[in-house]
Amino acid sequence: MIPLLNSKILIVENERIVANDIKQLLEDLGYDVIGISGTSEDALKKVRERNPDLILMDIVLTGEVDGIDTAQQISELYTIPFIYLTAYYDDGILERAALTQPAGYITKPFNSVGLHAAIQMALYKEKKLKESQHL
């Protein structure tokens, strides 16, 4: 698989320290982090303004709207793959998340190899989907 580096990634994470750690990790891997959002409202604004190639979405966000609802709203407006990257995992949350058809679901703590692989797979799948639509 050809690496899909330099892809634009938006991080949606309400814990600033965690978001900055993820940002540094992604940049070290060769990705272009185009922003960090901690709320649904800010995430929607950044998606509109910056057109990311992929979104890393935490489930718990600051404010009343969580990451699952935010991902659903984004999916209704844009064709952008997203991966849930969260500390929360139970059957109810997993069921809700699955309905939004994410490109992946990674639980914290995570490692850089697993995160990189999930991102590459999601970007590759999206690239192939777009290529098939242009045939």
pLDDT digits (tens, 9 = 90+) for 62-73: 999 999 999 999
The answer to whether the beta carbons of residues 86 and 59 sit under 8 Å apart is yes
Helix boundaries (H) for 30-133? 40-50, 67-77, 91-98, 112-133
| CA 11 – CA 21 distance, rounded (Å) | 11
Mean local confidence (pLDDT), 52-64:
96
Domain boundaries, the chain: 8-133
Which pLDDT value is given to residue 44?
A: 98
CATH code for the structural domain at 8-133: 3.40.50.2300
108-124 pLDDT per residue, tens: 999 999 999 999 999 99
31-44 pLDDT per residue, tens: 999 999 999 999 99
pTM of the predicted protein model: 0.93
Which pLDDT value is given to residue 4?
A: 66
Which pLDDT value is given to residue 51?
A: 95
Q: Any idea which residue has 């185009």 for tokens?
A: 34
